[in-house]
A and B are shown apart, each in its own frame.
Chain A
Amino acid sequence: MFVPATRPVHEEQLVFKGLKQGLTLFVPERDTFGHWLEVLERQLNQAKGFFQGGAILVELGERQLTPDELAGLKKVLAQYRIRIKGFNPVLRKKNNPRSEKRPPASTGVLLVKGTVRNGQRLENEGDIVVKGDLNPGGELVATGDIIVLGALRGIAHAGAGGNVKAEIIAFTLAPVQLRIAHIFSRAPEERKGRQGPEIAYIKGEKIVVERL
Chain B
Amino acid sequence: MAGRVIVVTSGKGGVGKTTTVANIGTGLALRHKKVVMIDADIGLRNLDVVMGLENRIIYDLVDVAEKTCRSINKALIKDKRLSNLYLLPAAQTRNKDAISPEQMVAIVDELKEEFDYVLVDCPAGIERGFDNAVAAATEAIVVTTPEVSAVRDADRIIGLLQEKEIYEPVLILNRLRPDMVRKGDMMDVDDINDILAIKLLGIVPDDEEIIISTNKGEPAVLNNQSKAGEAFRNIVRRMEGEEVPFMSVNGEPGIFGRFLKLLNGK
Q: Which residues of A contact B (CB under 8 A)?
A: 84-87, 92, 115, 117-120, 133, 135-137, 151, 153
B74 at the A/B interface (Cβ < 8 Å)?
no
With contact pairs A135-B155, A137-B155 given, residues A84 and B165 touching in the complex (Cβ less than 8 Å): yes
Residues of A within 8 A of B163 (CB): 85-87, 92
Q: Main SS of chain A's interface residues?
A: loop
User: Is B160 a contact partner of A119 (Cβ separation < 8 A)?
Assistant: yes
Chain A residue, CB-CB nearest to B162: A117
Residues of A within 8 A of B195 (CB): 133, 135-136, 153
- 20 A–B pairs (Cβ distance < 8 Å), ordered by A: A85-B163, A86-B164, A86-B165, A92-B163, A115-B197, A117-B158, A117-B159, A118-B152, A118-B156, A119-B126, A119-B159, A119-B160, A133-B197, A135-B195, A136-B152, A136-B155, A136-B195, A137-B152, A137-B156, A153-B195
- In the assembled complex, the Cα of A151 lies from the Cα of B194 at a distance in Å of 9
Q: Which residues of chain B (133-186) have a CB below 8 Å from chain A?
A: 152-153, 155-156, 158-160, 162-165
- Closest Cβ of chain A to B179, distance in Å, is 24
- In the assembled complex, the Cα of A85 lies from the Cα of B136 at a distance in Å of 12
Residues of B within 8 A of A115 (CB): 197
Given A118-B155, A118-B159, A119-B155, output 5 extra A-B contacts at Cβ < 8 Å: A86-B163, A86-B164, A87-B163, A136-B195, A137-B156
Residues of B within 8 A of A87 (CB): 163
Output the residue of B155, B160, B162 with the most chain A CB within 10 A. B155
Residues of A within 8 A of B164 (CB): 85-86
Residues of A within 8 A of B194 (CB): 151
Q: A-facing mask of B222-263, CB < 8 A → 1, else 0?
A: 000000000000000000000000000000000000000000
What are the 9 tightest A-B residue pairs by CB atom distance, in nearest-first order?
Answer: A117-B159, A118-B156, A118-B155, A86-B163, A119-B156, A117-B155, A120-B159, A135-B155, A118-B152
- In the assembled complex, the Cα of A61 lies from the Cα of B158 at a distance in Å of 21
With contact pairs A133-B197, A135-B195 given, residues A117 and B156 touching in the complex (Cβ less than 8 Å): yes
Residues of A within 8 A of B159 (CB): 117-120
- In the assembled complex, the Cα of A135 lies from the Cα of B152 at a distance in Å of 9
Chain A residue, CB-CB nearest to B105: A83
- In the assembled complex, the Cα of A87 lies from the Cα of B162 at a distance in Å of 9
- Closest Cβ of chain B to A4, distance in Å, is 36
Residues of B within 8 A of A135 (CB): 155, 195
- In the assembled complex, the Cα of A135 lies from the Cα of B162 at a distance in Å of 15
